[in-house]
Amino acid sequence: MNTTKRVIAKAKELIDAAPHGKRWAELCREVSAAFPEITPTIAGHMLFGFRSELPDAYYNPVRGLYRNVQFKTTDEAWPPESAEAKEKVVAKAKELIDGAPQGKRWAELCREVSAAFSEITPKRISYALFEFRTDLPEAYYNPVRGLYRSARFRTTDEVWPPESSQAKEKVIAKAKQLIDAARHGKRWTELCGEVSAAFPEITLKRIEHILSEFRTDLPEAYYNPARGLYRSVQFKTIDEVWPPESAEAKEKVVAKAKELIDAAPDGKRWSGLCREISAAFPEITPKRINHILSEFRTNLPEAYYNPVRGLYRSVRFKATDEAQLTGGGKTRKAGKIREEDFYQPFGDWLVNELEEATKAIALGGCVFKDKWGTPDVIAIWEAQRSDIITAPTEIICAEIKLDVSGLITAFGQCCSYKLFSHKSYLVVPKTSSEEDISRLDSLALIFGIGLVLFEPDDPNQPQFTIKTRASREEPDMFYVNKYLRLVENKLFGYTQEA
């Protein structure tokens, strides 16, 4: 009992010190760090009791967030009709807009005003700024949607009128300089951004207008290799050095691709392959490299295979996978880590982190005495008494697999659990091959099963990560009653252990 008081006292201390409240996961982590002698599971159990019967001094503003009611006053300190709050916010907004020649975006304005007045809630600030935006003073204007600017910067638009040859010459000269210095060319947006940074006295709208004319009548010294890209013709020779039919270019790229794939036991992704080859041969354009690799991919040599979409691997690593499978994944015995060690941590994660259950218990073994198998973890979600609209009870099952050679069997078991549960999760190690994880991910989406990855080396720090969320399906009530009758007292019992 003394330990429970210490844990709850620490939780209160942490929440009291956080004006914006504490997230559940953050609270559990910090309490565990403060009491290393208490396991994270026990600490989480104690905090769950605190959360279920939240004291009057604390409240739950949003799901998973806990906050002291003393900070609620900050919402009342500046009511919508408060002239002082409104004046402060509007004055700061004007100051920020006046200091920005290019203007201020709405989101940026809200963020900076909120940082300046931490005692005023972001919601109240947004409300005050919304009124300011609705009745925008004459000293400010709205050049484009979501942008607010001081009217005194409007004069920069008149400094360089559309017919001004000086403005046009400056912008075009800078654009040519930037394109000439870029071997692979310049994108339209990139060009506008860099020219705008070079001439802050010329508005972005004016720069875009001038560059649009430049683009329409593109000089002969420049060309348009792809939509939205502008390049100097001096770099066109690079494309001719390695024409599509050039055996030398093809040999270089394909040889490098094979070298990279051979050196990667887990295989190489298409994007990674293109990027690394492009870095190795800067004299060959990325477009040409993509063209050659596309041919290589279409007619993939027998020494390579495609385990999953977008991944390329040497067949000599296929034998290694098969050897591991025939070995049965027994290498983990040395560490004496059992699959059962992960049952309760996953149940706690399902309740506390994922918040998809209100109670979870570890099963495993042959509790159901059935050839269809027993789930490793079974959990329920029940509506709270405080809920306005109550939903029916949900049953969640999970199959945890430590041995990567049994993933297919585990998936089949997960499918069978949907017979008596609303949601079913398959929990597999992150050390599983990329091919297995990719296949399981696709199958999980098809069958509506959840997929969770975890670190298999330490049951105390499993680092569960959701890959695919389970979809809710209605089970067969005959089997629900048949199987849950076997664990009724343990799963639905309300008696607390001393």
Claim: this prediction has a pTM higher than 0.85: no
Q: What is the DSSP string of 182-229?
A: -TT-EEHHHHHHHHHHH-TTS-HHHHHHHHHHHHHT--TTEE-SSTTE
How much is the pLDDT for 367? 82
Helix axes 40-52, 343-352, angle to 10 degrees: 30
C-beta of residue 393 within 8 angstroms of C-beta of residue 437: no
Q: What is the DSSP string of 16-30?
A: HT-TT-EEHHHHHHH
At 109, give phi and psi (nearest 5°).
-65, -50
Q: Which residues contact 455 (CB under 8 A, 6 or more apart)?
A: 429, 430, 461, 462, 463
Distance of alpha carbon 40 from alpha carbon 33, whole angstroms: 9
Distance of alpha carbon 14 from alpha carbon 16, whole angstroms: 5
How much is the pLDDT for 95? 93
Task: For 309-337, write each residue's pLDDT tens digit.
Answer: 778 888 888 766 655 544 444 444 435 78
Query: b/e for 32-50, b at 16 or more Cβ within 10 A?
Result: beebeebebebbbbbbbeb
Closest alpha carbon to 236 in 246, 227, 224: 224
The chain-wide mean pLDDT, for the chain, equals 83
Closest alpha carbon to 420 in 355, 361, 356, 487: 487
What are the distances in angstroms from CA 197 to CA 89, 137, 191? 30, 28, 10
Please state, as a whole number, how many other Cβ atoms lie within 10 Å of the Cβ of residue 447.
Answer: 16
What are the pLDDT tens digits along the chain (498 aa)? 578 888 889 888 998 998 888 888 888 888 888 888 888 888 888 888 888 888 888 888 777 888 888 887 544 444 545 678 888 899 999 999 999 988 889 889 988 998 888 888 788 888 888 888 888 898 998 887 888 889 888 754 444 554 567 888 889 999 999 999 988 889 988 999 999 999 888 888 888 889 988 988 899 899 888 788 898 988 875 544 455 456 788 888 989 989 998 998 888 888 888 889 988 888 788 888 888 888 888 888 888 888 877 788 888 887 666 555 444 444 444 357 888 889 999 999 998 888 889 899 988 777 887 777 789 999 999 888 888 888 889 999 999 998 888 888 889 989 999 999 999 999 999 988 888 888 899 999 999 999 999 999 888 889 999 999 999 999 989 988 888 888 888 888 754 443
At 460, give phi and psi (nearest 5°).
-80, -20
- Please, what is the Cα angle at 380 between 377 and 381, to 5 degrees? 140
Helix axes 165-180, 204-216, angle to 10 degrees: 70
Q: Which residues contact 448 (CB under 8 A, 6 or more apart)?
A: 418, 470, 471, 473
Strand order in the sheet with 229-232: 186-187, 229-232, 222-223
How much is the pLDDT for 497? 41
C-beta of residue 380 within 8 angstroms of C-beta of residue 395: yes
**Helices assigned H by DSSP within 302-352:** 316-326, 343-352
Which amino acid, residue 389? I
